[in-house]
Amino acid sequence: MRLLKRLPGDDSFELITFDDNSAPPYAILSHTWTTGQEITYKELLAGTGINKSGYAKLRFCGDRARADGLQYFWVDTCCIDKATSVELSTAINSMFRWYQRATKCYVYLSDVSVPKEVTDAEAFRISWEQAFRCSWWFTRGWTLQELLAPASVEFFSHEGKRLGSRISLEQEIHEITDIPIDALRGQRLTEFSVEERTGWAAKRTTTVKEDRVYCLLGIFGVFLPLIYGEGEEYATLRLQEEIQKRQQGRENYVQDLSVPVSLPFPRNELFVGRESQLQSIKQALLSPNTHQRMTIHGLGGCGKSALALEFAYRALAGHAKRLVFWVPAISHESFKLAYRDIGVRLRIPGISDDNADVERLVKETLSLENVGDWLMIVDNADDSQVLVGVENESYKSARLIDYIPHSNKGAILFTTRSRKAATDFTQGNVLELNDMGKAEARQLLARRTTRQALLNNEAAVDMLLETLAGLPLAIVQAAAFMNQNDTPVSEYVSLLQHAGTKVELFSEHFEDPSRYRSMDSTVAKTWHISFEQIRRQDPLAADYLSFIACIDRISIPQSLLLPGGSVVQQTKALGTLTGYAFITERQQTVPGFSKERLFDMHRLVHMALIWWLEGHGERADWACTAAARAKDLVPYGGHEGKEVWGAYLPHATYVAELVSVVDGAMRASLWGRLGQCQKTLGQYASAETSHRKAWSLRKEVLGPEHPHTLMSMSNLASVLKSQGKYEEAEAMNRQELECTKKVLGPEHPDTLTSMSNLALVLDRQGKYKEAEAMNRQTLAQQEKVLGPEHPSTLTSMSNLAGVLGTQGKYEEAEAMNRQTLAQQEKVLGPEHPSTLTSVYCLAHLLTHQQRYSESLALYERACAGYQAVLGKDHPTTSACHQHYADALASQKQSQLVIPPSRTDSTQSTRTGKGSKLLRGLAKIGIRSPKSSARKA
CA distances from 559 to 283, 562, 567, 658, 711 (A): 42, 8, 12, 22, 30
| CA torsion angle 866 870 874 877 (round to 10) | 0
Q: By the 8 A CB rule, do 797 and 820 touch?
A: yes
Residue 861: burial class (beta carbons within 10 Å; 0-12, 13-18, 19+): middle
* Segment 871-923, tens digit of pLDDT: 888 888 988 999 999 998 888 888 776 554 434 433 333 333 333 444 444 44
Spatial separation of the C-alpha atoms in residues 493 and 412, rounded to whole Å: 41
pLDDT computed for residue 296 by the predictor: 94
* Segment 556-572, tens digit of pLDDT: 999 999 998 889 999 98
* Segment 102-154, tens digit of pLDDT: 999 999 999 999 999 998 898 889 999 999 999 999 999 999 999 999 989 99
Residue 934's pLDDT band, with cuts at 50, 70 and 90, is: very low
Q: Would the pLDDT of 720 be above 50?
A: yes
Pick the most confident of 427-436, 470-479, 912-921. 427-436
What is the DSSP track for 830-846? TTSHHHHHHHHHHHHHH
Q: Which of 680, 546, 709, 687 is nearest to 613 (CA)?
A: 546
Q: Among 267-271, 282-286, 616-620, 665-669, whose mean pLDDT is lowest?
A: 267-271
The helix or strand, by DSSP H or E, that contains position 614, with its residue range, turns out to be helix 603-615
* Segment 841-869, tens digit of pLDDT: 888 888 888 888 888 999 899 999 988 88
Task: Tell how strand 162-165 and strand 153-156 pair up.
Answer: antiparallel
Q: What mean pLDDT is predicted for residues 477-484?
A: 82
Please state, rounded to an integer, the average pLDDT across all residues of the chain: 84
Q: Which fold has domain 275-433?
A: Rossmann fold (3.40.50)
Q: Which of 201, 228, 190 is nearest to 92 (CA)?
A: 228
CA 851 remoteness from chain centre: 59
Q: Would the pLDDT of 255 be above 50?
A: no
Q: Would the pLDDT of 924 be above 80?
A: no
Q: Which residues 6+ apart lie within 8 Å of 668 measured at CB? A: 693, 694, 697, 698, 701, 702, 708, 712
Q: Would the pLDDT of 354 be above 80?
A: no
**Which of the 8 DSSP states describes residue 848?**
T
Q: Would the pLDDT of 256 be above 60?
A: no
Spatial separation of the C-alpha atoms in residues 905 and 883, rounded to whole Å: 20
Spatial separation of the C-alpha atoms in residues 102 and 262, rounded to whole Å: 22
Task: Tell how strand 556-557 and strand 598-601 pair up.
Answer: antiparallel
What is the 3 state secondary structure string of 38-77? CCCHHHHHHCCCCCCHHHHHHHHHHHHHHHCCCCEEECHH
Spatial separation of the C-alpha atoms in residues 716 and 689, rounded to whole Å: 9
Q: Buried (b) or exposed (e) across 26-36, using 16+ Cβ within 10 A?
A: bbbbbbbeeee
Residue 590's pLDDT band, with cuts at 50, 70 and 90, is: very low
Q: By the 8 A CB rule, do 853 and 859 touch?
A: no
pLDDT computed for residue 912 by the predictor: 36
CA dihedral over 263, 265, 271, 277, signed as positive or negative: negative
Q: Which residues 6+ apart lie within 8 Å of 458 measured at CB? A: none
Spatial separation of the C-alpha atoms in residues 125 and 132, rounded to whole Å: 9
Q: Which of 255, 249, 254 is nearest to 222 (CA)?
A: 249
Parse the chain into domains and list their residue ranges: 2-190, 275-433, 438-507, 826-936
Ramachandran category for residue 157: left, alpha or beta (phi over 0 → left; psi -120 to 50 → alpha): beta
* 322: three-class secondary structure by DSSP: coil
pLDDT computed for residue 915 by the predictor: 39
The residue among 512 and 890 whose pLDDT is bigger is 890
pLDDT computed for residue 456 by the predictor: 81
Q: What mean pLDDT is predicted for residues 51-62?
A: 93
* Segment 750-784, tens digit of pLDDT: 998 899 899 989 988 999 999 999 989 999 998 89
Rg (CA), the chain: 39
CA dihedral over 264, 266, 269, 270, signed as positive or negative: negative
* Segment 277-336, tens digit of pLDDT: 999 999 999 888 889 999 999 888 888 888 999 998 888 877 767 888 999 888 888 888
Q: Where does 766-911 have alpha helices with state H?
A: 768-785, 791-806, 810-827, 833-847, 852-869, 875-897
CA angle, 618 then 620 then 623, to 5°: 105
pTM of the model: 0.59
Backbone phi, psi, residue 409, to 5°: -95, -5
pLDDT computed for residue 587 by the predictor: 64
The helix or strand, by DSSP H or E, that contains position 285, with its residue range, turns out to be helix 275-285
Sheet of 26-30, strands arranged across:
13-17, 2-6, 72-74, 26-30, 104-108, 153-156, 162-165
Q: What mean pLDDT is predicted for residues 166-188?
A: 91
HSE (side-chain half, CA atoms, 13 Å) at 275: 17
- Please report, as a single letter, which amino acid is at residue 549: A
First vs last C-alpha separation in the chain: 91
Counting residues of the chain whose pLDDT is more than 90, the rounded percentage is 37
Q: Which of 791, 846, 793, 847 is nearest to 818 (CA)?
A: 846
